[in-house]
């Protein structure tokens, strides 16, 4: 019965210390509690060996007494350190610790040298001891250290009374009070009176206090339902490794060691029996160890390798690369999820920066070419006007033959063509300030469609419109927007010279409003899509366009804080123009 009680106490202590330590391993309070539990487990282990196997002489009475004194002192050292660091995770005052713990440098060697007792024996189940005067000094010092730690905790409790931390400190003080009363009774008072009956059970008397102790420092969530759910949600890798090791050890002991012991020693413990036991124990140990290595590799090594490969790919420029891992609720699983999210966000941000950079370069080109275009148009228009005037004067003279008149007509036609080009250049270069007001995009698009409808070629198109009648208003110049939409509609017309299908739609998209124009023309090649808004770039045949229309549209849209994009569809091209709503602009202005 005593043996089972000691084993249960030892198992509970190890489980409790591991649970509290892993819950927050970087906390000094949890680290100190784990150290306290480790010393208490040593105390229980020595009692387990000494009181349950006295005839084997594994632990002599003198060594048991010395270990009891030393472990008791080490537990009080851990208590004082805990009192210093809890609850604010403060650092241990090294000078105070050196002064307070220095007597241990003398007392601990004295204990192991046998200077704390005059005589000690354990025979026929009867334990007796005669202490030396130094033992009383040792006990007084142990209680002094304990009292100092309890005083620090009590002082902190009075300062933090009424708070969550104060409740924790109060519970710890109660736990210490219960423990010191039970331990003093079993280890000091009754043995002093010659009664040693409770001494074998003294290691179990600390369990109530230790449970309260652990319950308090874990914010009163120890073994609670919420705590269990939290641990299930985030199952640390340390737990997995520990459970793997413990499970493999227990299973291998039950499956291999017990049968091997029975088989090897069934005829006695001779040389051959020990030889069988050692050989087959080594062989049987390989299987669980290999299984343990496999579990650890599967839980740690393989996921870390995949994470490393993914991280190397990202450093080499493959942004958006994700680690393909099995979903897990431990630190590696959280790390993989965070890495994948970071990689996706990095890819998205870099792609956005690339688009912004392209937009900035295009805007700079527009500004530079606008200045150049204005100068060129001005220099060309003046001589053209003079040439046109001279042609008109020549044509009015009498006696000019038909061939000459035809040549003059041809010259006049080319002059008009040059004039159209210079007019487009002047429109492109003109930086007229926008007269912005509240604009209904539906009405603006309808007006553009009415203007385009006067064109005979446009009338041949199959037109489908889909307007969002609840479309929010935008703050813009209606004339400039009408110029944009009319240009896009006429471009769609030019893309379908033999007729085709044209879809015009408006829609709200979050804080943006969108106008889309989709045609069934030949579409735009991927290489051209990136250059289509550049000045003087055109896919039309010579004489059909100057390549400034879409550049002008781009300048107007970006000046209104919007964006214009083009994409090829299965049946043609789709231009999308987006503007921030008037409400969104007002919110941005208020924020700034």
pLDDT digits (tens, 9 = 90+) for 156-180: 989 888 888 888 888 888 888 888 8
Q: Is the pTM of this model over 0.75?
A: no
The C-alpha atoms of residue 155 and residue 148 are separated, in whole angstroms, by: 11
Q: Are the C-beta atoms of 438 and 585 separated by less than 8 Å?
A: no
Instruction: Say how far residue 23 (Cα) sits from the centre of its chain.
Output: 20
Q: How big is the CA angle at 548 (ends 383 and 420), to the nearest 5 degrees?
A: 35
Q: What would the DSSP string read from start to end of 40-83?
A: HHHHHHHHHHHHH-TTTTSS-HHHHHHHHHHHHHHHHHHHHHHH
Domain shared by 98 and 10, yes or no:
yes
Question: What is the predicted pLDDT for the residue at 374?
Answer: 61
Question: What's the half-sphere exposure (Cβ side, CA atoms, 13 Å) at 250?
Answer: 6
Q: What tokens were used for 149?
A: 């730690």
Q: Is the residue at 423 inside a domain?
A: no
Q: Are the C-beta atoms of 425 and 462 separated by less than 8 Å?
A: no
pLDDT in tens, 316-374: 888 888 887 777 666 777 778 888 888 888 888 887 777 766 666 656 655 555 555 66
The C-alpha atoms of residue 518 and residue 505 are separated, in whole angstroms, by: 9
Q: Which residue carries 């091997």 as its tokens? A: 260
Q: What would the DSSP string read from start to end of 367-434?
A: HHHHHHHHHHHHHHHHHHHHHHHHHHHHHHSSS--HHHHHHHHHHHHHHHHHHHHHHHHHHHH--PPP
Residue 224 CB neighbours (<10 A): 13
Domain shared by 238 and 207, yes or no:
no
Q: Which domain holds residue 174?
A: 2-223
Question: 441-452 vs 478-495: helix axis angle to the nearest 10?
Answer: 50
User: Which is it for the CA torsion 214, 220, 223, 226, positive or negative?
Assistant: negative
Residue 408 CB neighbours (<10 A): 16
Domain shared by 444 and 527, yes or no:
yes
Domain shared by 35 and 177, yes or no:
yes
Domain shared by 83 and 217, yes or no:
yes
Domain shared by 246 and 127, yes or no:
no
Domain shared by 192 and 141, yes or no:
yes
Q: Is the residue at 521 inside a domain?
A: yes
Q: Is the residue at 366 inside a domain?
A: no
Question: What is the predicted pLDDT for the residue at 149?
Answer: 92
Residue count of the chain: 592
Q: Is 25 helix (H, G, I), strand (E, B) or coil?
A: coil
CATH number for the domain harbouring residue 176:
1.20.1070.10
3-state helix, strand, coil in the chain (%, to 5): 65, 10, 25
CATH number for the domain harbouring residue 473:
3.30.565.10
Question: What is the predicted pLDDT for the residue at 237?
Answer: 67
Q: Last residue of a domain, which of 223, 257, 290?
A: 223
Domain shared by 219 and 238, yes or no:
no
Domain shared by 9 and 118, yes or no:
yes
Question: What is the predicted pLDDT for the residue at 365?
Answer: 59
Question: What is the predicted pLDDT for the residue at 360?
Answer: 62
Q: What tokens were used for 376?
A: 């060129």
Q: What tokens were used for 484?
A: 């944009």
Q: Is the residue at 332 inside a domain?
A: no
Domain shared by 216 and 245, yes or no:
no
Q: Is the residue at 362 inside a domain?
A: no
Given a cut of 70, the residues of the chain with pLDDT beneath it are 55-57, 219-240, 242, 298, 328-330, 356-379, 417, 420-434, 526-531, 534-548, 583-592
Q: Last residue of a domain, which of 273, 294, 318?
A: 318
Q: Is the residue at 337 inside a domain?
A: no
Domain shared by 475 and 583, yes or no:
yes
Question: Which ranges of 234-270 would DSSP assign to H, the alpha helix?
Answer: 237-252, 258-265
The C-alpha atoms of residue 563 and residue 65 are separated, in whole angstroms, by: 84
Q: Last residue of a domain, which of 223, 243, 261?
A: 223
Domain shared by 457 and 583, yes or no:
yes
For the chain, the domain total comes to 3
Q: Of 367, 539, 519, 518, give the one whose Cα is nearest residue 550.
A: 539
Question: What is the predicted pLDDT for the residue at 220?
Answer: 54
Q: Is the residue at 355 inside a domain?
A: no
Question: What is the predicted pLDDT for the residue at 535?
Answer: 63
Instruction: Give the list of residues 6+ apart from residue 445 with CB closer than 8 angstroms, or none.
Output: 467, 485, 504, 506, 515
Q: Is the residue at 374 inside a domain?
A: no
Q: Are the C-beta atoms of 16 and 218 separated by less than 8 Å?
A: no
Question: What is the predicted pLDDT for the residue at 487?
Answer: 84
Q: Are the C-beta atoms of 322 and 336 separated by less than 8 Å?
A: no
Q: What would the DSSP string read from start to end of 270-338?
A: SHHHHHHHHHHHHHHHHHHHHHHHHHHIIIIIHHHHHHHHHHHHHHTT-TT--------SSHHHHHHHH
Q: Of 473, 469, 467, 475, give the one whose Cα is nearest residue 445.
A: 467
């Amino acid at each position: 019965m005593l043996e089972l009680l000691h084993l249960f106490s030892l198992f509970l202590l190890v489980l409790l210390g591991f649970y509290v330590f892993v819950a927050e391993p970087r906390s000094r309070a949890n680290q100190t509690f784990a150290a306290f539990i480790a010393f208490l487990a040593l105390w229980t282990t020595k009692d387990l060996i000494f009181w349950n196997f006295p005839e084997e002489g594994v632990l002599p009475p003198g060594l048991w007494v010395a270990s009891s004194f030393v472990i008791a002192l080490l537990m009080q050292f851990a208590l004082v350190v805990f009192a210093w660091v809890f609850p604010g995770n403060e650092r241990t005052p090294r000078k105070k610790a050196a002064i307070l713990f220095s007597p241990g440098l003398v007392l601990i060697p004295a204990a192991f040298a046998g200077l704390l007792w005059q005589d000690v024996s354990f025979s026929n189940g009867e334990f007796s001891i005669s202490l030396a005067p130094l033992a009383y000094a040792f006990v007084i010092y142990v209680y002094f250290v304990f009292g100092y730690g309890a005083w620090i905790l009590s002082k902190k409790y009075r300062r933090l009374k009424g708070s969550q931390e104060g409740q924790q400190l109060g519970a710890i003080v109660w736990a210490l009070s219960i423990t010191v009363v039970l331990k003093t009774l079993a280890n000091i008072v009754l043995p002093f009176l010659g009664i040693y009956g409770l001494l074998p059970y003294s290691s179990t008397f600390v369990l109530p206090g230790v449970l309260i102790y652990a319950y308090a420092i874990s914010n009163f969530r120890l073994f609670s339902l919420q705590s269990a759910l939290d641990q299930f949600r985030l199952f640390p890798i340390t737990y997995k490794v520990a459970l793997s090791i413990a499970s493999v050890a227990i299973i291998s002991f039950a499956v291999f060691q017990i049968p091997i012991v029975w088989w090897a020693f069934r005829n006695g413990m001779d040389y051959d029996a020990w030889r069988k036991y050692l050989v087959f124990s080594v062989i049987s140990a390989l299987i669980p160890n290999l299984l343990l290595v496999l579990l650890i590799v599967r839980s740690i090594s393989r996921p870390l390798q995949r994470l490393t490969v993914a991280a190397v790919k990202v450093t080499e420029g493959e942004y958006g690369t994700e680690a393909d891992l099995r979903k897990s609720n431990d630190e590696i699983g959280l790390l993989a999820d965070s890495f994948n999210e970071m990689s996706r966000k990095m890819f998205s941000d870099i792609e956005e920066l690339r688009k912004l950079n392209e937009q900035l370069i295009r805007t700079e080109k527009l500004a530079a070419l606008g200045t150049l275009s204005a100068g060129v148009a001005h220099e060309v228009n003046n001589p053209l006007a003079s040439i046109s005037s001279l042609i008109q004067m020549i044509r009015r003279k009498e006696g000019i033959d038909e061939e000459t008149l035809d040549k003059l007509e041809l010259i006049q036609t080319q002059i008009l063509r040059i004039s159209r080009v210079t007019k487009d250049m002047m429109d492109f270069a003109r930086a007229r300030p926008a007269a912005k007001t509240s604009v209904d995009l539906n009405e603006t698009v309808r007006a553009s469609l009415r203007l385009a409808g006067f064109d005979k070629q446009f009338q041949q198109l199959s037109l489908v419109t889909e307007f969002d009648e609840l479309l929010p208003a935008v703050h813009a110049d209606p004339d400039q927007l009408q110029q944009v939409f009319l240009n896009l509609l006429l471009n769609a017309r030019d893309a379908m010279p033999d007729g085709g299908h044209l879809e015009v739609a408006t829609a709200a998209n979050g804080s943006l409003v969108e106008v889309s124009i989709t045609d069934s023309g030949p579409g735009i090649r991927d290489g051209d899509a990136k250059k289509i808004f550049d000045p003087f770039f055109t896919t039309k045949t010579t004489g059909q366009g100057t390549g400034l229309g879409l550049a002008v549209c781009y300048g107007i849209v970006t000046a209104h804080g919007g964006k214009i994009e083009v994409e090829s569809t299965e049946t043609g091209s789709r231009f999308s123009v987006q503007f921030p709503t008037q409400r969104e602009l007002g919110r941005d202005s208020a924020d700034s």
